[in-house]
Structure 1
């Protein structure tokens, strides 16, 4: 056995393609003092049996950027290392068998154009020309990406390992990490064993690339890494003599993909309900192993495949393969530093796209470790999105039985998960359910997305057109605009920051001025050194030494980690109090009227102006009423102790009958906020988006003194903006916008929408998106161009605006 060092700058655990990629990219950055430890042999977990599909188009610009990087890397690895990667850019075709799937793949084609990926839309006859042997009578459309391809996963991993070794990295097989050692909340080393020997390597950086072993490895260190193995099936035919080289073919409506390789066809499946595996843990001796065959499970996919490609009926089956792969609760992998433990990094959970993802993911993580911050927005795959409860094995086992199949399911907008539901509930859940709530899930929270009418079915009917709740959303939206609506936003993350140094601590982290009187609410961002937005929040000063931070529920763990990372030696306590209070936004022109029916307190503008929080009585209870809004109307967010929430709700609901109170869901809140051009973190604003280019300069106070990001703000003010966040309203009231639709300026694609919804008060779909501009370009020049949005290949004219199209001066909010 190779002698193991006693210390290293980084220890990577796991020798699949992910670990080898991280080692390669760290070594490329000059980290020569790194060690990769593999418990058995390189590629022996999942990498060796992966199908090796290289599809460059992903669901967002940065995920596409990483996939394209992977393809480019694999193309040049052979020249660099002498090991062939088997990369062949044979192209890929995705076909649609339904009108809804046609809409989906045409939207994907539009997205490819926006992201600079070569794409061709195909008729059924053109599909047949590129892919003979195919039954096309029921095909509706196809999309061809000519630069997609396939590769040899095992050889790519070995080439990356060789490239890492060439730069000084140590890669050692047959060594198992038994424990990650920690002290004072950070990694200090790893213990290992091999062939009866034991030892320790001191290090400040550990990278968990453990694949399906990763969850248990992380859990031993108190780190949440929610993933679970599923069985993944494919067959490989005998040699088919007349078979020419073919593109990769995906038939998602039949849950199948086809890969031609050396005159054989590999047929793989992403069946609607998968089989979780490894519930009792992965066997210790698992190495290059297969799972038992289950032909009955695979047979429905095979039957459809033989009808789709009749020559399969004459070909013998050479291999029936069943192997495990790791899947996550949201079908996105994990990257980054764990919020629970400094120096504990993760690159795992690839959901069957590990080959095309690992090259780019390894590059991004290595750069993150080098710089201390991600190279660009990686929130989609950031480990900090994981919720602590998600490491529960029962939850994971049930959820991944669904997420495997969702890879090839219709990716309808607003699609809700069906499994592992009902875990986090507001104290008002049953009240809302009894009144027709149809729930969605975010960060495990059950949230009322819309309310069904009496006699209406309480479930989603998915479509790319108007879904069955469109009219319900319209009624709720207009109630918020014209009357009064009540929402439940208990899922908001709530963080209490208090102590002697709380004010100075938040002044350093927040871009707005935190030195305000008790009771004042401040809308602000926390910035990184580039001026990008790390957190979008409101901060309410409760007293001289106590503040309440309210953040999106989905970003709570990320925001807690950001606060704790910057705490240092200051005398401050940071506490997650999310579960302590329910939040009831009461919004609309008649909200003051309703609140006055249940509270003796003075709710006038003079007594309770916008941006102020104060305690009020409601019924027989107490609430802290925050005069703020995310829908753009007069209203209050009512923060109520959890034990009093039901009473306060019942009091409001009973009195609300006098003023036409309507219960409203998250869909209506979102359509209202997009009409008002309010930004949403993760869509419109990310850590890659400069706060000034996002149009949020009003919330930045450079004159208050130093804070993180101040220099970047001053520099941008001096050099000028290179892009602007615009709001768009379609001139045709019929098409719908969701997000990612390409933006055309004077006929040329210049960007894509970051979010979209139907503006029921404005009478058409509305979206937000960034448009590049000259640093000296005036607002008038930007708005003088002709704009349009590409909706599934249809170019729809749109009117642009730099100020909110709805109530641009916010007179209604302050009414």
Structure 2
């Protein structure tokens, strides 16, 4: 009879590769009383039937770093534990069969270079030398990453489990978790069929079972199960050092196994599994082989590997795996329940992620924060639409089907739409809006002029896309006249209570203890002075604040604020996003238009920049914020949703003689790049501090007020920084998208965090950090000679430390 410990520091639920890796790393960090519980046998969920390819490159630097950590760990794990892992660093090939895919591959190669990875571009004949089994008649080129590889999923998991035991962790198989004890919103204990374990932290790595388990405790984990098939041939003389191969134009991947080939793929019409729940007792189980459904993949593969026509098929494995609505995995502490961590939804790259994901989860659980910014995989990126499993499944089916399709710039999902709509949705659709979607919200990206024959639909390419001229018109209107943006999707919170000002001044880096009616732009910092939130705070009463942040950060920022209200302080945070519509009126004519629709004083003296006041428009009490994200005179007008159409109509009527136009998020992006405004999640985040990002002016170090992150911010201000955000401009024919490599005096020093086009300056614009381990200041940045690598080609770039556009000085730099 297995005897469970009665207490543990952390309990891990799930014995696949993610759970075993987390146990391994927690034990290595000194938490030797870590316990891993597996309801059946290790690897018996989905790990045992994984294909085992280990690639590293992703579009995000830190996800790439996480995958690179896996490679480093797997290369030494066998020596450490004495157990074979099947790890082979035989490299990875990616093919391109048309010019657009070749452009994508070249951009991926530049991304690899940005992140410090070696990725070589090959001719078709060079690729054939590495992979002699394929037909290259349709090949344009290929990319080779020598540090990619493959592993045996079960073996590598068992090695991680042994390493965890060697470091002091305990692993119990055939132990089913039946319940959790939660007390005052915190984990108290794990209940199993063999006993109770009191613990501080629970880390759920239960694969496709995670969503249903977490839901019992109010935690939302947006993943669903999908059938995924791959074939193994009989031995056919395949050399053991053959690189892994990804052939996205034919939707297929390949790896060598015991002299044969493993071949699988991502069909455009995937099959969801367990729609009504995973069957009881499902473990070490596979689904019936679906040869009819796999035939479309097989036909594509036969064109690439003619030898498959005569190869014997040993197995066709059909195993369910968990996939997510955006194709990225889910990691981090649940916003709904303190000390409840999740590592799940790995979208068929769990083996590649396993080592790094376990390291991140272990450090996150132990230290209270991840070792680096993982926003693109953070559980807090999800929100209200993701509570509905049917919506999650609908979107995930689309995401699975796009696994190997072209990753177009600015590409939008089509499924599950429309979901969340502004009250102006139909009005703006009639005005030619082409909508995008974020966190379920429909948001105008740009407006087509139907009188010119334009259609409000994106046509994707790697060059200038079909909306380029339309966005230019909106951009010009913002600079010369005025535009209105529907920004109803903004996340909006109210913080109320006697201690609201004290709590918020602890959480905010800037000083919010200012008179009622003040508006404060501020960051919220972690203990390393990294930027966790970037938002606007309005003081609407002595004991109440109105907080506005980006659409996609609703869950994250609400969680950060609520978790960091000091214990014992009396204030409450409310999400009031759905209550208020937002219309942003921006441009030099904004005041003239606003004066026509309100009797309130909106003159410069009567309504100063950085203030918030209630004004009347069309019978509506409008909370007006004098602020701008485009570099022009402007107001955000926040109003109850039922007034939205009336206020919008009044503005459009008043603006008719002043050149007022509708505008969307694409022009907003171009406008903010010209002005050098930072965007959280790309230009700034937990890995960047205000002094690195040029936002030190918004940090209250000059005041005797303590705040979270102050000590680290003070130390950095005194000691200097090793990276600094700068602006780069290049020829307008060069399309910048972000992740292009920055070279200073011929040396790689970073990559672009944002890229776009500035219609006023007539150049392509990028923001990015210039790095130097010996320190960086503005003189260092400006003294360099710069190039950007774009799709593997280097182009000369100009560097700037001031905004390109300054309306006060009537100056355009570039």
Shared topology, TM-score over 0.5?
yes
1:298 match: 294
Confirm or deny: 8 A CA contact 2:732 2:757 kept in the other structure.
no
Query: Any idea what SS the aligned residue of 1:507 has?
Result: helix
Change (3 A) 1:514 1:811: farther
1:699 match: 698
Query: Any idea what SS the aligned residue of 1:253 has?
Result: helix
Deviation of 1:776 (Å): 6.6
Confirm or deny: 8 A CA contact 1:773 1:782 kept in the other structure.
no
Write out per-residue CA displacement over residues 738-760 of structure 1, whole angstroms, 9 at most, x where no aligned residue: 11111111112110000111111
C-alpha distance in structure 2 between counterparts of 1:133 and 1:559, whole Å: 51
C-alpha distance in structure 2 between counterparts of 1:414 and 1:10, whole Å: 41
1:525 match: 523
2:568 match: 569
C-alpha distance in structure 2 between counterparts of 1:200 and 1:778, whole Å: 56
C-alpha distance in structure 1 between counterparts of 2:312 and 2:210, whole Å: 37
C-alpha distance in structure 2 between counterparts of 1:167 and 1:144, whole Å: 36
C-alpha distance in structure 2 between counterparts of 1:418 and 1:45, whole Å: 31
C-alpha distance in structure 2 between counterparts of 1:560 and 1:412, whole Å: 31
Deviation of 1:244 (Å): 6.0
C-alpha distance in structure 2 between counterparts of 1:186 and 1:389, whole Å: 25
Kindly tell me the number of residue pairs found equivalent between the two proteins.
808
Confirm or deny: 8 A CA contact 1:336 1:383 kept in the other structure.
yes
C-alpha distance in structure 1 between counterparts of 2:562 and 2:588, whole Å: 40
Deviation of 1:458 (Å): 2.4
1:499 match: 497
Deviation of 1:466 (Å): 0.9
2:674 match: 675
C-alpha distance in structure 2 between counterparts of 1:475 and 1:267, whole Å: 49
Answering whether residue 81 of structure 2 is matched by residue 81 of structure 1, we say yes
Confirm or deny: 8 A CA contact 2:626 2:635 kept in the other structure.
yes
Taking the TM superposition and a 5 Å limit, the aligned residue runs for 1:482-631 are: 482-567=480-565, 568-631=567-630
Deviation of 1:811 (Å): 7.6
Deviation of 1:654 (Å): 2.5
- Which of 366, 381, 384 aligns to 1:385? It is 381
Deviation of 1:657 (Å): 2.1
1:12 match: 12
1:451 match: 447
Deviation of 1:784 (Å): 2.2
C-alpha distance in structure 1 between counterparts of 2:58 and 2:765, whole Å: 24
C-alpha distance in structure 1 between counterparts of 2:466 and 2:391, whole Å: 29
C-alpha distance in structure 2 between counterparts of 1:470 and 1:441, whole Å: 19
Query: Any idea what SS the aligned residue of 1:767 has?
Result: strand
C-alpha distance in structure 1 between counterparts of 2:59 and 2:204, whole Å: 25
Answering whether residue 107 of structure 2 is matched by residue 107 of structure 1, we say yes
Deviation of 1:307 (Å): 1.3
Query: Any idea what SS the aligned residue of 1:93 has?
Result: strand
2:798 match: 799
With 241-250 and 733-742 compared, the bigger mean Cα shift is at 241-250
Answering whether residue 254 of structure 2 is matched by residue 258 of structure 1, we say yes
C-alpha distance in structure 2 between counterparts of 1:769 and 1:442, whole Å: 24
Write out per-residue CA displacement over residues 675-694 of structure 1, whole angstroms, 9 at most, x where no aligned residue: 11100001010111111111
C-alpha distance in structure 1 between counterparts of 2:526 and 2:38, whole Å: 36
Query: Any idea what SS the aligned residue of 2:805 has?
Result: coil
1:39 match: 39
Confirm or deny: 8 A CA contact 1:413 1:463 kept in the other structure.
yes
Confirm or deny: 8 A CA contact 2:240 2:257 kept in the other structure.
no
- Which of 204, 210, 226 aligns to 2:206? It is 210
C-alpha distance in structure 2 between counterparts of 1:89 and 1:52, whole Å: 12
Deviation of 1:701 (Å): 1.2
Change (3 A) 1:309 1:446: same
Answering whether residue 352 of structure 2 is matched by residue 356 of structure 1, we say yes
Q: CA RMSD in A?
A: 1.5
1:310 match: 306
Write out per-residue CA displacement over residues 427-481 of structure 1, whole angstroms, 9 at most, x where no aligned residue: 1111111111111111111111111221422221111111111111111111111
Query: Any idea what SS the aligned residue of 1:8 has?
Result: strand
Confirm or deny: 8 A CA contact 1:23 1:34 kept in the other structure.
yes
1:174 match: 174
1:441 match: 437
Query: Any idea what SS the aligned residue of 1:702 has?
Result: coil
Confirm or deny: 8 A CA contact 2:55 2:92 kept in the other structure.
yes
Answering whether residue 117 of structure 2 is matched by residue 117 of structure 1, we say yes
Query: Any idea what SS the aligned residue of 1:9 has?
Result: strand
Query: Any idea what SS the aligned residue of 1:514 has?
Result: coil
Write out per-residue CA displacement over residues 634-683 of structure 1, whole angstroms, 9 at most, x where no aligned residue: 11100011111111112112222222211111111011111111000010
Change (3 A) 1:153 1:778: closer
Confirm or deny: 8 A CA contact 1:114 1:752 kept in the other structure.
yes
2:477 match: 479
Answering whether residue 653 of structure 2 is matched by residue 654 of structure 1, we say yes
Confirm or deny: 8 A CA contact 2:419 2:441 kept in the other structure.
yes
Deviation of 1:809 (Å): 6.2
C-alpha distance in structure 2 between counterparts of 1:513 and 1:246, whole Å: 59
- Which of 385, 396, 403 aligns to 1:400? It is 396
Deviation of 1:773 (Å): 4.0
Deviation of 1:206 (Å): 0.7
C-alpha distance in structure 2 between counterparts of 1:522 and 1:344, whole Å: 33
Change (3 A) 1:475 1:151: same
Write out per-residue CA displacement over residues 173-228 of structure 1, whole angstroms, 9 at most, x where no aligned residue: 111111122111111112212xxxx5322112111101000000110000010000
Confirm or deny: 8 A CA contact 1:719 1:775 kept in the other structure.
no
Confirm or deny: 8 A CA contact 2:238 2:256 kept in the other structure.
no
C-alpha distance in structure 1 between counterparts of 2:303 and 2:562, whole Å: 58
2:133 match: 133
C-alpha distance in structure 2 between counterparts of 1:323 and 1:498, whole Å: 50
1:335 match: 331
What are the ranges of 5 or more consecutive residues in structure 2 without an aligned counterpart? none
Deviation of 1:786 (Å): 1.0
Confirm or deny: 8 A CA contact 1:720 1:775 kept in the other structure.
no
Change (3 A) 1:677 1:369: same
Answering whether residue 738 of structure 2 is matched by residue 728 of structure 1, we say no
C-alpha distance in structure 2 between counterparts of 1:702 and 1:29, whole Å: 34
Deviation of 1:810 (Å): 7.6
C-alpha distance in structure 2 between counterparts of 1:241 and 1:736, whole Å: 45
TM-score, reference length from structure 1: 0.97
Confirm or deny: 8 A CA contact 1:632 1:810 kept in the other structure.
no
- Which of 379, 403, 411 aligns to 2:407? It is 411
Deviation of 1:139 (Å): 0.9
